[in-house]
Amino acid sequence: MRGTDYVLKRVFFAIVTVWVALTINFVLFRLAPGTAVTNLSRVPHATQQLRHALEVEFGLDKSKWQQYVIYLKQLAHGNLGISYANQQPVSTNLRIALINTLPMVTVGTAFAIVFGIFTGVIAAWRRRTKTEGLSVSTALAFYAMPTQWLGLMLIIIFAGIFPTAGMTNEFLLNPPFWTHARDLASHMFLPALTLGLTLYGEYTLIVRSAMLETLGEDYILTARAKGLKPRTIVRKHALRNAMLPITTLIALSLGYIVAGAILIESVFSWPGIGRAVYEAVLQRDYPMLQGAFLVLTLSVIFFNLVADLVYFRLDPRITE
């Protein structure tokens, strides 16, 4: 019973957060200097009438509150406005971009989680050895590197071996499926590796400290006293319990993944949502920027909720 309470509470929190994000989004862009009308009515001989007509057309004659309600209503219908840059609906642009981003981010994050847990566990288990020192300092170094710079370094190292820009080879016209898949994979290699490496450092450090904490628990001592093999202790007793804080921390690192995606896609010209943000900034394409910000925020909120529910599944005791 209290379990359902917990789930409902987290869902409610997520919904309120979505509303907060929508409101921030509305307020921020209303604070932008000038309105759409200021720019459009900057033609020679613009009259007061033209200005007023434009204001009515854009709904800017209404009160801020009415504008806010209209904004929420349109969002509920999936209307994010029209991009200044290519005159397409923002939602269409973003859908394409999101589909491009997802595989790259998924591969990179999966690599980071697997590799990070692996090295983190080893570092904790081989405490006070050279293995620990090496894996911790490597992880720290990758953690400290600016994402975009790491991407550039990988370009310098792998230029000529892997493609360094774009998502597909544009000269391949209607390629057979496997050729296309291989092309896509080779283009994805460097961006995904960059994301994977930046996250891997952080995850290793997190996993290591979570493991160190559980390895200090009394039940580990009991397991040892029972004469269990070290491997069994780590896998069945320590890592299982360490997964709780790890889940939470990985969820909280979603913001980093989003930030990483923006920088990495800018470096590698990957036509995803991060690149959409970059181009929207360059072109001052406010509707696009607003839409992309919204999608990024909503996805972080969503995956946080997922992490909360996974956490609950792993440890039903938590009811706050």
Partner 1 sequence: MSEATFFVEAPAEGGTSRRGLVLRTLRNQRVALGAALFLAACVLTAILAPWIAPYPLHEQVGPVFGGLSWQHPLGLDDGGIDMVTLLIWGMRVSLVVGFAATFVSMVIGGAVGVVAGYFGGHTDNVLMRITDYFLVIPDVPLMIVVAAIWGPSLFHIIIVIGILLWTSTARVIRAQVKSVRERVYVKRARALGAGHARIVLRHVLPQVAPLLVASTVLTIAVAIFDETALAFLGLSDPSTISLGSIMEHAFERAAISTGAWWAIVPPGVLVTLLILACSLIGGALEDALNPRLRVAHLSARTFRLRPLVGRGKDAL
Interacting residues with partner 1 (CB under 8 A): 13, 16-17, 20-21, 24, 28-29, 31-33, 140-141, 143-150, 152-153, 155-156, 159, 205-206, 209-210, 212-213, 215-218, 221, 245, 248-249, 252, 254-255, 258-259, 262-263, 266-267, 277-278, 280-282, 284, 286, 289-290, 292-293, 296-297, 300-301, 304, 308, 311, 318, 320
Closest approach, Cβ 192 to partner 1, in A, equals 19
Decide whether 105 or 292 has the Cβ nearer to partner 1.
Answer: 292
CA 270 remoteness from chain centre: 15
Question: CA 185, CA 193: separation in Å to the nearest integer?
Answer: 12
Q: What DSSP state is assigned to residue 80?
A: -
Closest approach, Cβ 87 to partner 1, in A, equals 20
Cβ distance to partner 1 smaller for residue 131 or 148 = 148
Nearest distance in Å: CB 38, partner 1 = 14
The minimum distance between CB 208 and partner 1, in angstroms, equals 9
State the Cα–Cα distance between residues 312 and 10, nearest whole angstrom. Answer: 10
Provide the phi-psi class of 74: left if phi over 0, else alpha when psi is between -120 and 50, else beta: alpha
* Tokens encoding 5: 């309470």
**Shortest CB 146 distance to partner 1, Å:** 5
Cβ distance to partner 1 smaller for residue 150 or 188: 150
Token pair for 265: 């896609």
Quick one: residue 160, left, alpha or beta (phi over 0 = left, psi -120 to 50 = alpha)? left
DSSP-assigned letter for residue 9: H
Burial class (CB in 10 A: 0-12, 13-18, 19+), 282: exposed
Determine the residue type at 195.
L
CB of 253 to partner 1, least distance (A): 10
Q: Which of 163, 125, 121 is nearest to 268 (CA)?
A: 163
Between 53 and 306, name the residue whose CB sits nearer to partner 1. Answer: 306
CB nearer to partner 1: give 195 or 258: 258
101 neighbors 195 (Cβ within 8 angstroms): no
Taking the least distance from each CB to partner 1, the nearer of 46 and 219 is 219
Contacts of 25 (CB under 8 A, 6+ apart): 290, 293, 294, 297
The C-alpha angle with vertex 102 and arms to 203 and 304, in degrees rounded to 5, equals 55
Q: How far is the CB of 79 from partner 1 (least distance, A)?
A: 19
Q: How far is the CB of 174 from partner 1 (least distance, A)?
A: 30
In angstroms, the CA 173 to CA 269 distance is 20
- The contacts of residue 91 (CB under 8 Å, 6+ apart) are 78, 79, 80, 291
Alpha-carbon gap, residue 17 to 268, rounded angstroms: 32
Closer residue to partner 1 (CB): 59 or 146: 146
Q: Residue 17 or residue 86: which is nearer to partner 1 going by CB?
A: 17
Closer by beta carbon to partner 1, 21 or else 50: 21
Instruction: For the CB of residue 107, give the shortest distance to partner 1 in the complex, in Å.
Output: 20
